[in-house]
Amino acid sequence: MIDAKKSALFETGFSMYLTPLIRSSFSRILGQGVEVIPEKPVLFIANHSSWWDGLVFFYLNRTVWHHDIHMMMHEEGLKKHSFFRYLGAFSINRKKPKEILTSLQYAEALLKKGKSVVLFPQGDEFHLETRPLAFQAGAAYLMEHCPEVPIVPLSFYYSFGYQQKPELWIQQHQPILTSTVKHMTRKEKTLHLQQLCTEQLDSLRNAVISENSEVFQPLGKRRK
């Protein structure tokens, strides 16, 4: 596997590039429950439907959470865009079972060192409306090996509204404590997370369709 080579200097420089890119690429960014997470570390999980997803996580961490985050990324993509290593990305190769375990053990070690980890349990990018989300077992593995670390699910929904540029809707959900699912098998934990995140994403989709933005707050507004 390819490990991370995180650089605070590179992060700062990349943030100066990413922040205006995010703000200029979307007509608006709306968030519900997107707030500081005092617990450190946490395991972040989210649906994965867009090239933007990883960058949105980095943006939210720089502007809201301020955790020491690392992100699991496809080996092929990390080889192609190796600079992500300096932002905390490390690789996984799902074509090789032994390397899957190596990557999960690497994520486990990061969590035990107090570093937060971002995981996309679907494994690959899928269309936003693909159901069910069909999670891999990695998140459940980390729940079993790092029982003190809560899981924080997020839902991302990209939508074209009345503007030329798309909208980005984000929901940050309440942390899931491992103690609430410790009686489940790994398969049952995976299905539980899959069902929960599917329901959360469907709820967010309904809010987008109904244009129910009253409980959402604008994120990333430019300062005047």
pLDDT tens per residue across span 154-171: 999 999 989 999 999 999
Q: Are 78 and 89 in contact (CB under 8 A)?
A: yes
Mean pLDDT of 188-197: 98
Mean pLDDT of 29-47: 96
pLDDT the model gives residue 224: 37
Predicted confidence (pLDDT) at residue 147 exceeds the cutoff of 50:
yes
pLDDT the model gives residue 93: 95
pLDDT tens digits, one per residue of 96-122: 989 999 999 999 999 999 999 999 999
CA 128 to chain centre: 15
Tokens, residue 186: 């790994």
Q: Are 57 and 71 in contact (CB under 8 A)?
A: yes
pLDDT tens digits, one per residue of 13-30: 999 999 999 999 999 999
Rounded-to-integer distance, Cα 204 and Cα 197, Å:
10
Predicted confidence (pLDDT) at residue 222 exceeds the cutoff of 70:
no
Predicted confidence (pLDDT) at residue 131 exceeds the cutoff of 90:
yes
Mean pLDDT of 194-218: 96
Terminal Cα-to-Cα distance of the chain (whole angstroms): 45
Task: For the chain, give the mean pLDDT.
Answer: 95
pLDDT tens digits, one per residue of 67-95: 999 999 999 999 999 999 999 999 999 98
Could you tell me what percent of the chain has a pLDDT over 90? 95
Closest CA to 146 of 115, 192, 188: 115
3-state class (DSSP) for residue 206: helix
Q: How confident is the model at residue 183 (pLDDT cuts 50, 70, 90)?
A: very high
